[in-house]
Structure 1
Amino acid sequence: MQVHVLGPFEVLRDGRFATPSAPKLRQVLALLVTHANSIVRTDQIIEELWEDHPPKSVTTTLQTYVYQLRKLLRLSGSGAPAVHRNEPLAEAVLLTSPSGYLLGLPPDAMDSHRFEQLAERGRAEFEAGSLAEAADTLGAALKLWRGPALIDVSPGPVLQAEVVRLDEIRKNALERRIDSALSLGRHRELLGELTTAVTREPTHEGFQARLMLALYRSGRRSDALQVYQRARKVLADELGLDPSSELQKLHAAVLSADPALEAPRIRETVRASPQIEPPAELPSDMPAIVGREASLTTALQALTSPERKAPPVVVGVGAPGTGKSAFCVHAAHLVRSDYPDGQLYAQLLDPRGEPVDLSEVLAHFLRALGVAPTSLPRSLEERSQMFRGRTAGRRVLVVLDDLVSAEQLLRLKPSGSGCAVLAASRRRLSHPMITTTLEMTPLNVGDSLQLLGSTLGAHRIAGEIDAVHELVELCEGMPLALHASASRLRLRPHWSITRLVEWVRREQRRGPELAVKALELSASIEQTYRLASPAVRTAFRLVSILHEQPVSPQAAAAVLRCTEFSAESLLEELVEFRLCDAEPAAEEPGGFRYRFPTHLRAAAGLLELAPEHDEVFVPSVSGPPAQRAASPRWAPRSAASEA
């Protein structure tokens, strides 16, 4: 089965098109296809089809849609072993899981997948200086597009995000192909294509700049200047903006007939070993980080100490929403001048919360350090060794977001003593190579007020001081929630802070989990939750909703129907994942109580809706007490109905 995602949404089966005609059935199929070989949770499908207004019979309706897809496309409902072993499928399958559905597709069944592969190969060729090869590869990738992605599907919020993602990759591929052609002296060939691109997207300054350059190199200087004037007018009329500094500089260069604008000679673009600029991959910095002064001082001292004999490894650990990623990026910007050979950055969890392929991360790092794509070793071990060799004797800073294991750190750690690693982690890690661990705790009231004041303005804070204190209490010191609240107020300047507080309180009354979503904490909490084992996830959901007071291991054991020892082990793992806090038990020397902050307890209601791959606790009832205390037993949930 071949699926065309780029352009009209069509499914070719046995030489004929078998695309569903019902709009919502097409949506379901499109959602499964764009997430092929991964489970699409039921709540995602509901959000895509009905957003906040699902029908009462939503479960039956979804089962009907899946049945219709299986019948129309003649899809098997078996094949789980191959899917779960990540083996290539010979035939498409549509599987049911306790939490959703999975459409398994053979390799290269989707044109969007082939496009992304070609676009990535073209990017690597372009960065390696192989411009002719890059132009050909990227041209082949762009030919797969026959119109906007999913043009004949009415996308909901989940599919719309995929449409935007694919279109951004398309634009990047188009820009690189045009840049390759410009560097090869093919400016006249590009005029028609660039004129069309500018007409379709008049506020895209990258296309405007490239059209100006192509016109100038074609001897049409006056036309290039007219393009700038039209661009300036469109940007002012539609966005209220002036042209970017890059576009203004290009305009000045055209006016002065700057020799640097002349087309390069072909032989200058073909180099056996192109000079690689040191990579500078850090995300944009925050203007300021509030309430982290002591941690920042400790991090900077560790990262700039001249007496170190091995690369320092600084790890910021915190609960979901504590701002550990922003802290690490900010600290990295402050010390970037100490690492003149480059700053590398990697996100170690994908958008679905799954750990990324370390082999691909290392390939990206090595390309950034000047290794040609054709010289990359195949295995993870060989790439890791090459990375250590490339960083020996250099001063490179590696920034890792969402670090989840010591294995990731071992593979991605540079070897030179002048290098360093700065990582944000969702769980506590213990390893001899970690030199400094920084706890990102919730902000106190004063720091929370300072954060809101720095983003909203002191005048706005002073006018509603009681409401501001209420908002700080609702956010529980979480920088993510505070920034989300400030952002909502900036987007809605007609709202008072009191109005925002009332809105969050109203959501809280409708359901505590809705307040967590309103403060934009749910996604971060779910990502951390998905990293834990099924047993720990179940313990979080069942124990966190007990009551507001700290929970004892005895109380948790009663809920989980297991021994106190097993319950305490699960609670301690939750502490490692920063999903609860441990406090000394006043009445029991050496013992602990476990506290779940309000937003984490509320999130348990959301997570109950999508317990992906979860398992249910089954109490052990046989054997002597010592044997039963060793570990709890877990059994899979009963299988769902056929759909």
Structure 2
Amino acid sequence: MLFGILGETRAWHDDGTEVPLGGPARRALLALLLIRPGEVVSADRLAAAVDPEGAVSAHALQSQVSRLRKALGSGAALEQAGAGYRIVVPQDDVDACRFERLAQEGRAALRAGDAARAVPLLREALELWRGPALAGLADSETAQPAAVRLEEHRLGAREDRIEAECRLGEPRALVPELRELVGRHPLRERLAALLMRALFAEGGQAAALVVFEETRRHLADELGADPSAELTALHRELLSADPSPAPAAPPAQLTAFVGRTDEVAEVAGLLRVARLVTLIGPGGVGKTRLSVEVAGVAADDVCFVELAPLRDGAGLPQALLSALGLRENGLGMGDSRQSPVDRLIAALSDRVLLLVLDNCEHLVDEVATLTARLLAVCPRLRVLTTSREPLGITGENLWQVKPLDGDAAERLFTDRARAVRRGFAAEPQVVSRICAALDNLPLAIELAAARIRTLDVDDLAGRLDDRLGVAARGSRTADERHRTLRSVVAWSWDLLTESERQAARRFTVFAGGATAESALRVCTTDGETLESLVDKSLLEVAGGRYRMLETIGAYGGERLDAAGEREPVQRAHAQTFLDLLRTADPHLRRAEQLAWLPVLTAEHGNFLAALRRAVEAPDVATGLQLLASASNYLWIRGVSASVAPQAIALLEAVGDAPPAGLGEEYVTCVLLAASGAAGRPVWQRHRATAEKALTAAWSAGRPGRYPVGLFLWMMRNASEADPGSAFALVSSQRDCADPWARSAARYVSGFGPLGEGDTALAERTFATAVEGFRALGDRWGTALALDALAGLAGGRGDRAEAIALTDEALTLTEQLGALEDSADLLVNRADHRIGEEATAARADYDRAAGLARRAGSSTCLAAALRGLGDMALLDGDLAEAERLYGEALERVDPHWVKSVGTQVRTLAGLGRVAEARGDHAEARTRYREAACAVADMGADIWDVLRLLGLPAGVIESVAGAVSAR
């Protein structure tokens, strides 16, 4: 006999005919016995299941049991045991027990990696369900826990089945089912993860990220919790799966948007016909919030740039590059002739984008100049700015953001007051008087409403009359509302306790917010004080970081100066982030680098602020230590050139000799100064002194403190005419105590035998470096060494091995978010494919060119254009090949060592074009230029040309031109 409780309680004979169980009382009785076959169920529980009102007597229960026993006949043993009853049947005869067994076996198969076996098991388990578990009994207190448990197992089995089916085949067919399940279970993180993966599989990366954000919001709103580590890791994985740059999204809003609905629609409409719109108005009037709401409806692709942390216009282009998600350097190190503005133009030239520039007033001239240039050369770009004054450039459309109207202001005050005091209600006239006293300014209203938590509304109105009366009713000038807001900030500040005022004014030294740990340390306060400042709207908290509004920060900065605390607090700030950088540095050379890079990226503004103050002081020791501790992060992220001006300024303060005990820090500063466009003279002036300092630090068998500085020294010196001493210094560390330095030294050492033509020894050395980097979990070093091995494999004609190694390196660079590195590797892979897989090679070149344009990297773009020129030459299109080679040659950076290969191959390509046209004189000229570029490398010309993969005839032509130099 078979029994079913996964739905309405039923029983069937072995021949399939149904057993007539009778009314609901007997079905409830049987269901409760079948939850745990063979276990005794007390008579009281059975009676409660039969009649929750408790009207069933012991005799009546016995009568129901007797009738049920008669209905079941010999198919089941229904026994009395002590003070209860039990049913004795095989476990597999009960659908719930069979379901749990099959589901458990399916899950075990899934965890063992056997999805093909898991799917039929899980489907069979789920097909046993005919409706809700214990239908008709689930509301009973005696059965509810079992029903909940079974339903939870059912949902878990569906998740297992979906995951198994995703592993077996096309997951996109599962998207509708997953959307329905996520809608019913918004807090179920595993369902969200499955939906995110399925959406990403069908090309919906943006949709997948929306699912994460919605899940994160549900968890925060309903549980007050953050997503799990697994879901957060999946989020990072999806972000890094596509190396396209991810622009900064508008900040998520924590409160409802009140009023201005019509303004949002009108500004969005204006942006459809105008390419530049500026929201102007006084501080605190709501320009930023309006821009966020407009961005949400005006465009699909939005980049939101907060300019308030910038102190001057010098960092404006770099701030835009960072917001667009663009790195500044690739794996290779060296000078770059391309300015940040040129990179911006290259990245935005063909992109449909709404660029929102928030808080422009303190940089209005620089913003106006840059915006005008970008709009002139990027025809598909639109710009929305917020400022207290117009940019004053042609084509600008001004939108005056005025204070809220009376009704909206009162709604805003009431909404925010109810957020801090449940059930808040007040006379409309009192609320209207408060808002009028605040000139209906949104920020002022929010600050005042926060005080409702501790003040009565009438008391609040009286205090506002006392403190703001003159400002609100005095002579009205253009800056009157600003002074009113200042009075509100001052009033709110005066109501703080002394400990709150101290923490608030000290917090103003942060740039871009702070974690709780950093805020507690720098402000020398406690968590309760920070939370109190949040409650009173002096601080905001989101994503685990505290932030202070600009207007409050400006006032708090004045209070910090008045208290005479700025210098010691700034020292504490610098030391806090110096300690963070030192803690993170070793992790950046190991498997934890993906976890630590986002941590340091979030603190980039604080690092720059600490560095800038050290330069301005000048505090040479702190500045040098900050740069040295951050160097690994700066190079991996590709933002080393952003600190080149500060590095140059520090070197000016240092002079020609490094400070005592800071030799390595001095070396790192020289390297970072040389990474900028103006760094060449600095490099020439300080190179010899820096090499002596580095040699002193890495000698006598003891490792220095900054292994990355040693490695970068060799990378930077590789483009010099005589890198021998630098090469020897790095190579000497092959057996040093630091494992990362050993791997880096072995990687660098591989170029020695490579230059001498001993490719076998070079390959063994690079392979050893790969093993060392990989054992540490360092993706950056591993990618470098894999790329070198791929070049050797390609040089000996093993294209399959070269492509496989390049694929490995490409995976690692994409995990790091290295857009330019990925473009560089795509070109290398295409070079390996071009002989036998022309279609795949063209696709790689095209993709590399696209990535290079998005990143604004002229060097990577030159390599991709050279490859496309090779393709055109193979197709016999001489005019197109010549055009592409010419464009590539214009973009080659002669100071970057990795550009030498591009330069040689481009010149050789132009020589082949000339030969094909019969112009032998032009061909000889081009081959001679290529030969000069090779000879300048100081290596055997034949080996270099072979490693470049040039055709035999071209190698002979170029090598033969050496004698004509």
- Which of 1 and 2 has higher RCO (CA within 8 Å, sep 6+)? 1
Shared fold, TM over 0.5: no
Structure in which a larger fraction of residues adopt helix:
2
State TM-score, norm by structure 1.
0.35
Question: Over alpha carbons, which structure has the higher Rg?
Answer: 2
State TM-score, norm by structure 2.
0.24
